[in-house]
Amino acid sequence: MTVYVIGSINQDIVATSDSHMRPGETLTGNDLNYYPGGKGANQAIAAARAGAAVAMIGCTGDDAAGSDLRAYLAEAGVDVTRVQVKAGTPTGTALIVVAQGENSIIVIQGANQEVGLATIEGIPFAAGDVVVSQFETPVATALAAFTKARQLGARTLLNPSPVEPIAQELLYQLDFLVVNEHEFEQIFDRPLGPVLHGKAGAPAAFAGTLIVTLGSDGVLTLSGGGRIRHGGRSVEVVDSTGAGDCFAGYLAAALHDGNDLENAVALANVAASMSVTRPGAASSMPEISDVRAASE
């Protein structure tokens, strides 16, 4: 059984500052670092550090950044044999400003735009697999992969970020939808407050398991008419970049490992809270032994 992650692979360029820029403003930063990133790669590394067998499906350029990122994924225990190298195309890049624990991000897609239907040809999806995707690569590829995977008995998980409208045909192919509060409101065009406080149920448009991450306030899970609430953990936030990816990757791995939904979400919640105490995205993903120790 495998966790397949279809998604982006980026070089993250991270500048730290005392505050975020306003339009037309120039600030002096404090530090500059280069990290491996991309929502797909982050989630794949999180799932691998959670102990799952993980295969990455994506594309990089034939540049130095692409070579380094493929090597980093492999060293983290991710199978990169299905990562395609696109000649003459730059590897995806994210420009990130971190100030007061919050981040602003501009993403240049580069080779991530090339994650087309050919990248999922011949993947041996099977019962027990978990197939994960996001919105930094073409949605048509995720839809095709999810449709095929579910026909073969695998489960599907979408983290629709950066947020955009979701077609009903894609919602039909999802077992798990992981969103933050802003994504919930944009996708379903309704406020989260009534749902959060038990005055309204899950949106009728989605029949699967809906998981809403709430940052320091924890996680709300809506499934089969029931609701589970996990509280947040008090930690010192250094860099929130990649926290949502950590949650999604750990959740996929925990489900793949046979955990029930409540325990899987609890483990992912702890892992995500640990990731924000470290700089970077992929580099901040904690090891499973540390997460289990913190969960006791």
Show which residues are catalytic.
245
3-state secondary structure (DSSP) of residue 118 = helix
Q: Name residue 35's beta-bridge partners.
A: 12
Query: How many angstroms separate the CA atoms of 102 and 217, rounded?
Result: 15
Question: Which residues does 48 contact at the CB level (< 8 Å), separation at least 6?
Answer: 54, 76, 77, 78, 253
DSSP 97-154: EEETTEEEEEEE-GGGGG--GGGGTT----TT-EEEEESSS-HHHHHHHHHHHHHTT-
8 A C-beta contact, residue 174 and residue 158:
yes
Q: Which of 197, 189, 127 shows the shortest CA–CA distance to 164?
A: 189
Rg (CA), the chain: 18
Which residue intervals of the chain are DSSP H helices? 39-49, 64-75, 139-151, 168-171, 181-188, 193-196, 243-256, 261-275, 288-295
